[in-house]
Amino acid sequence: MQITVTVNGIEHTRDVEPRLLLVHFLRDSLELTGTHWGCDTSNCGACVIWLDGAPAKSCTVLAVMADGRAVRTVEGLETAAGLDPIQQAFSDKHGLQCGFCTPGMMMTCRALLDENPDPSEHEIREAISGQICRCTGYENIVRSVKAAAAVESGAMQSSAAQQGVTA
Amino acid sequence: MTTTEDARTGVADTGVASTEVAASTPMGYGSMRRKEDARFIRGQGHYLDDIVIPGMLHSAILRSPLAHARILSIDTSAAEAHPKVKAVITGETLAGLGLAWMPTLSHDVQAVLATDKVRFQGQEVAFVVAEDRYAARDALGLIEVEYEPLDPVIDAKHALDPEAPVIRDDLEGRTDNHLFDWEAGDSAATDAIFASADVVSECDMLYPRSHPAPMETCGSIASMDKVTGKLTVHTTTQAPHAHRTVYAMVAGLPEHKIQIIAPDIGGGFGNKVGIYPGYVCAVVGSIVTGKPVKWVEDRSENLMSTSFARDYHMHGEIAATKDGKLLGVRVKVLADHGAFNGTAQPSKMPAGLFHVFSGSYDMAAAHCAVTGVYTNKSPGGVAYACSFRITEAVYLIERLVDVLARDQGWDPAELRMKNLLRSEQFPYTTALGWEYDSGDYPATFQKALDIAGYDELRAEQREKRARGELMGIGISFFTEAVGAGPRKTMDILGLGMADGAELRIHPTGKAVLRLSCMTQGQGHETTFAQIVAEELGISPDDIEVVQGDTDQTPFGLGTYGSRSTPVSGAAAAMVARKVRERARIVAAAMLEVSADDLEWEKGGFHVKGDPSAARTMTEIAMAAHSDLELPDGVEGHLDATCVYNPPNLTYPCGAYICVVDVDGGTGQVKVRRFVAVDDCGVRINPMIVEGQVHGGLADGIGMALMEVMAFDPDGNHLGASFMDYLLPTSMECPSWELGETVTPSPHHPIGAKGVGESATVGSPPAVVNAVLDAIGVRHADMPLTPAHVWRAMQGRPLRTDLAIG
């Protein structure tokens, strides 16, 4: 059946089998291979993307369920302005090793920071608790999120200060 | 024992080299951002399943639902009639090509696709090639296999019973499930020590079957070019060159017509060392269809059929004087190797490096006797960051030391401190014949005790016990043995364990380093560039590291057993030094002086006593390619090759302390703190080293508390998905507290030791010791799940491998 999905702001219309998983639609049909597949059972979170602004595990969503909806993937994190602070922080704080869980982790962490700009360590750990990383022992992922939060909070303050000046 | 106030509040200067990335790229060692991250953080990594080759077909494997059964018939006609199916391959097809069986890395054979019997649940039975991955899976359901079920051998302890069914009746003359007997150490001397010892403690313990479970499963894309006869295999391999040689041996293809390409790998941990039937089937599929064939296993297939780890049933004994001097250790092991002996380890060592089990202590005698058996379980046995079974060895000795301390009422920290090898004893030859290269074990241990605040923790524990709260403190001190060879004593399938390296400096002074090893996340592109940078004064940013492609890299045995830095890292340093000596000759010609009159300062040469008469590496590189007249016998250009044959293993060590709280009502364990002090010699990139340790510590939490592949009496795999095989998440892991000591390896060119597996090897006993300390139980096997902890507290521990009470 025909579906239209907006992925990272671009509309894609494709004919798909009703059983096609969203992760395969993204990877195979749209060639967006940054979203990974890891377990089949919603346990590992390598496949996390955003569906209408909320993190979702794309291995347990059918592509047809995304019809008419907006998807954001890891490829949509970087903008013309540069890397998303969460991407930069993962590199700065060594929040990744093999890189396989990283896209899903970053999508979840980006959503966390949008909702909670100053999360505690426990809140960060809880946010990523539905995802598995076999390399980092999670320590540097937590540090990455804290670093991104600090950068964004600094940016907000400087932006507020600038607005104060212009006002 | 001493403690520092600051350490307990977590603000101590633990002496750890900075893991903060420097503002600019260091000209050599130091924490720097990883070069590979640029693509990974953008989702632009290039993993196996991301690769699409024009015309590529997809495949899937039909697997046995039974652990032991005779195959009566296989009907593939319906599958072949599926409109999208291009080929269906069975064991019979392969037998016609002489490929139904393949050699393992341990002097055995393994079925590629079953012809006679299936010998474990999940064994490969048929292979379907189709236009897409969904169609290939659909067609599996159309294949009809008629089985005659046979009694399976599931409990290794009954594998040698006279009435046990014979699993390997494919091997001529075989009448039982006995695989090998092997021993190490001096049996008589050890027995004599035990006979005269004041105190002896013994313990039965199981290191359960577990699985490396990298986030990316295994897979390959085989592409046979019928015109050139060249086979290209993109595959998830930690050892590309070893794979190429094995393919040549299995398929009878000429080695120069095989190209193995390992793309980015999403974690390996030992899971991606062996050759799996799916890889071979993909090659056959490509030959049969004339198209590239991709095979990627799903998670369940990964857990059920690829290299498991451990599965050692151990009976250990430890002897000591009445005042706590350790005298000797002996152990009998029953090793469950599954249905085929497919361990990936030095071929002359059927128990891997298990015989380092005398650990970190000065002991007069030690002996082990290992018996390997076949069971109806998947093959493998050496995987999961184990340094060839040092996980089992460290677990054995560190549990025995704790059991002895408990039996005698000794403090486990004091007992360890009293017996640890002292710095002046190195190089130290153990009772089992290993020559430990360097270390200052008491200093490493003291640092961990200080960071943890050991005495205060014991005081807190006493207070909590008085209130009825369960708190435990567990210690582990490990010695690792990593960096296999030397080639004389260590080989895989006759291939000596030495690594090549090639370094070329381009005319503009930029460099390319070609390596035989293969990263799976360890950061080789960065670390190895830093090794060359340190030697030549070329920025790591200007050094490209090439790995994984056998057409582009020199021969070597690959990345496992923490051998990349000890072996390939040494090769990188040595080849850089060769280039530096070539550069000296060029600089001498440029400056019109004798090469002996030149002095090296990182980045270039100058005339002794005249720093102004100098040439930089960039200038030298251009001159080496220019019209400069070079002395007779000196070739132009600036490059070198080398093969590094390690004279010995390197022996990193570490002291780990785990603090847990246990809920006595539910058996739930909370790991509150984990202190890890590692000594891996010189650290090239401290940030990466620390990250490696973090990952291994999480493995320890997983193995001690969560991970097990158990089987029911019918041989059903009870850990075949991530819902059943539990891996640690961010919630089970504490914030790790790290420290370091640095004792360089005296025989390694840059003093580095491997570290990739140290924490996986060292951490499980610390967690187990902590839990058992909390609940006051002498021993219970891993994993200490809430149910098992609760049962152990009732005095009824479980057989965790059989999931029965």
Per-residue pLDDT at A164: 54
Using CA coordinates, name the residue in chain A closest to B301: A39
Same domain flag for A89 and A158? yes
Mean pLDDT in residue range B691-703: 98
Q: How far is CA B762 from CA A97, B175, B656, B697, B768, in A?
A: 21, 39, 7, 8, 11
Looking from the CA of B230 toward its CB, the CA atoms found within 13 Å total: 8
Using CA coordinates, name the residue in chain B closest to A125: B730
Per-residue pLDDT at A162: 64
Same domain flag for A65 and A37? yes
pLDDT exceeds 60 at position B804 = no
Other C-beta atoms lying within 10 Å of the C-beta of residue B13: 9
Instruction: With beta carbons under 8 A apart, name residues in chain B contacting A119.
Output: none
Out of A76, A105, A135, a domain closes at A76
Pick from B431, B304, B318: nearest CA to B365: B431
Q: In whole angstroms, what is the distance from residue B22 CA to residue B540 CA?
A: 13
Q: pLDDT grade, residue B19 (50/70/90)?
A: confident
Q: Which of A41, A101, A133 sits opposite B723 (nearest CB)?
A: A41
Interface probe with B: pick from A134, A140, A141, most Cβ of B within 10 Å: A134
Same domain flag for A117 and A65? no
Out of A76, A101, A136, a domain closes at A76
In a domain, A49, yes or no: yes
**Alpha-carbon torsion B413, B418, B420, B424, what sign?**
positive
Q: Domain limits at A51?
A: 2-76
pLDDT exceeds 90 at position B134 = yes
Q: pLDDT grade, residue B735 (50/70/90)?
A: very high
Instruction: Note whether A134 contacts B42, CB cutoff 8 Å.
Output: no
Per-residue pLDDT at B3: 38
Q: In whole angstroms, what is the distance from residue B329 CA to residue B471 CA?
A: 29
Question: What's the pTM?
Answer: 0.96
**Alpha-carbon torsion B442, B448, B451, B456, what sign?**
negative
Same domain flag for A118 and A158? yes
Q: In whole angstroms, what is the distance from residue B725 CA to residue B303 CA?
A: 8
Using CA coordinates, name the residue in chain B closest to A122: B731
In a domain, A129, yes or no: yes
Same domain flag for A69 and A117? no
pLDDT exceeds 80 at position A156 = no
Q: Are B308 and B220 in contact (CB under 8 A)?
A: no
Q: In whole angstroms, what is the distance from residue B96 CA to residue A99 CA?
A: 42
From the CA of B265, how many Å to the nearest CA of chain A? 7
Mean pLDDT in residue range B26-37: 97
Pairing of strands B258-261, B230-235: parallel
Q: In whole angstroms, what is the distance from residue B520 CA to residue B12 CA?
A: 33
Using CA coordinates, name the residue in chain B closest to A35: B43
Same domain flag for A100 and A148? yes
Give me the phi and psi of B140, to 5 degrees please. Answer: -60, -35
Q: Are B554 and B502 in contact (CB under 8 A)?
A: yes
Using CA coordinates, name the residue in chain B closest to A96: B37
Q: pLDDT grade, residue A166 (50/70/90)?
A: very low
Q: In whole angstroms, what is the distance from residue B145 CA to residue B69 CA?
A: 11
In a domain, A167, yes or no: no
ipTM of the complex: 0.96
Per-residue pLDDT at B738: 98
| Range in A68-72, A93-97, B101-105, B388-392 the model is least confident about | B101-105
Note if the bond before B728 is cis, omega within 30 degrees: no
Q: In whole angstroms, what is the distance from residue B577 CA to residue B534 CA?
A: 10
Other C-beta atoms lying within 10 Å of the C-beta of residue B435: 15
Same domain flag for A135 and A104? yes
Pick from B108, B85, B113: nearest CA to B97: B113
In a domain, A143, yes or no: yes
CA triplet B543, B548, B552: central angle to 5 degrees?
70
CATH number at residue A23: 3.10.20.30
Give tens-digit pLDDT for B193-202. 999 999 999 9
Per-residue pLDDT at B803: 67
Pick from B546, B532, B558, B565: nearest CA to B756: B565
**CB-neighbour burial class of residue B73 (10 A; exposed 0-12, middle 13-18, buried 19+):** exposed
Using CA coordinates, name the residue in chain A closest to B720: A39
In a domain, A144, yes or no: yes
Q: In whole angstroms, what is the distance from residue B403 CA to residue B395 CA?
A: 12
* Backbone conformation region of residue B548, classed left if phi is above 0, alpha if psi is from -120 to 50, else beta: left
Q: How far is CA B677 from CA B16, B52, B238, B326, in A?
A: 9, 44, 28, 23
pLDDT exceeds 50 at position B15 = no
CA triplet B15, B18, B23: central angle to 5 degrees?
160
CA triplet B424, B428, B431: central angle to 5 degrees?
140
Tokens (6 digits) for B401 = 């030391």
In a domain, A112, yes or no: yes
Per-residue pLDDT at A160: 67
Tokens (6 digits) for B245 = 């040689």
Instruction: Note whether A43 contacts B723, CB cutoff 8 Å.
Output: yes
Per-residue pLDDT at B5: 36
Count of structural domains within chain A: 2
Q: Are B281 and B89 in contact (CB under 8 A)?
A: yes
Pick from B389, B380, B131: nearest CA to B277: B380
Give tens-digit pLDDT for B40-87. 999 999 999 999 999 999 999 999 999 999 999 999 999 999 999 999
In a domain, A19, yes or no: yes
Q: In whole angstroms, what is the distance from residue B236 CA to residue B548 CA?
A: 10
Q: Are B670 and B733 in contact (CB under 8 A)?
A: no
From the CA of A111, how many Å to the nearest CA of chain B? 16
Interface probe with B: pick from A19, A139, A146, most Cβ of B within 10 Å: A139
Instruction: With beta carbons under 8 A apart, name residues in chain A contacting B521.
Output: 97-100, 135
Q: How far is CA B551 from CA B261, B514, B658, in A?
A: 8, 11, 46
Same domain flag for A62 and A92? no
Q: In whole angstroms, what is the distance from residue B360 CA to residue B651 CA?
A: 10
Q: In whole angstroms, what is the distance from residue B697 CA to residue B762 CA?
A: 8
Greatest distance between any 2 Cα atoms in chain A: 56
Q: pLDDT grade, residue B17 (50/70/90)?
A: low
Tokens (6 digits) for B432 = 């089992």
Interface probe with A: pick from B730, B735, B755, B767, most Cβ of A within 10 Å: B730
**Alpha-carbon torsion B675, B680, B681, B684, what sign?**
negative
pLDDT exceeds 80 at position B216 = yes
Instruction: With beta carbons under 8 A apart, name residues in chain A contacting B43.
Output: 32-35, 73-75, 77, 103
Pick from B768, B769, B793: nearest CA to B783: B768
Q: In whole angstroms, what is the distance from residue B337 CA to residue B160 CA?
A: 13
Same domain flag for A90 and A144? yes
The H-or-E segment that residue A144 falls in is helix A139-166
Using CA coordinates, name the residue in chain A closest to B217: A38
Which residues have a Cβ under 8 Å from the Cβ of B621 and sit 6 or more positions away?
B505, B506, B507, B508, B509, B583, B638
**CB-neighbour burial class of residue A65 (10 A; exposed 0-12, middle 13-18, buried 19+):** middle
Instruction: Note whether B736 contacts A94, CB cutoff 8 Å.
Output: no
Instruction: Note whether A97 contacts B19, CB cutoff 8 Å.
Output: no
What is the three-state SS of B550-586? CCCCCCCCCCCCCCHHHHHHHHHHHHHHHHHHHHHHH
| In the block, residue with structure tokens 């060692």 | B29
Same domain flag for A22 and A70? yes
Per-residue pLDDT at B10: 34
Out of A76, A110, A138, a domain closes at A76
Instruction: With beta carbons under 8 A apart, name residues in chain B contacting A36.
Output: 47, 215-216, 266
Mean pLDDT in residue range B136-156: 98
Give tens-digit pLDDT for B535-576. 999 999 999 999 999 999 999 999 999 999 999 999 999 999
Per-residue pLDDT at B13: 40
Q: Are B795 and B681 in contact (CB under 8 A)?
A: no
Q: Which of B217, B691, B721 sits opposite A97 (nearest CB)?
A: B691
Q: Are B41 and A96 in contact (CB under 8 A)?
A: yes
Mean pLDDT in residue range A40-55: 97
Which residues have a Cβ under 8 Å from the Cβ of B562 and sit 6 or more positions away?
B387, B480, B482, B483, B652, B754, B755, B756, B757, B758
User: 3-class SS at B89?
Assistant: strand
Pick from A116, A112, A21: nearest CA to A71: A21
DSSP string, B328-395: EEEEEEEEE--SS----S-TT-TTTTGGGTTTTB--SEEEEEEEEE--SS-SEES-SS-TTTHHHHHH
Same domain flag for A96 and A147? yes
DSSP string, A85-140: HHHHHHHHTT--SS-SSHHHHHHHHHHHHHH-SS--HHHHHHHTTTS--SSSTTHH
User: 3-class SS at B444?
Assistant: helix
Cβ-Cβ contacts under 8 Å between A and B: the total is 171
DSSP 8-state symbol, B629: P
Instruction: Tell me, rounded to whole angstroms, the distance of Cα A10 from its chain centroid.
Output: 17
| In the block, residue with structure tokens 């298990």 | B354
Find the length of chain B. Answer: 805
In a domain, A121, yes or no: yes
**Alpha-carbon torsion B725, B730, B734, B738, what sign?**
positive
pLDDT exceeds 60 at position B7 = no
How high is the mean pLDDT of chain B? 96
Q: pLDDT grade, residue B217 (50/70/90)?
A: very high
Instruction: Note whether A132 contacts B727, CB cutoff 8 Å.
Output: yes
Which residues have a Cβ under 8 Å from the Cβ of B737 and sit 6 or more positions away?
B10, B14, B451, B452, B673, B674, B675, B676
Same domain flag for A62 and A104? no
Give tens-digit pLDDT for B348-377. 899 999 999 999 999 999 999 999 999 999
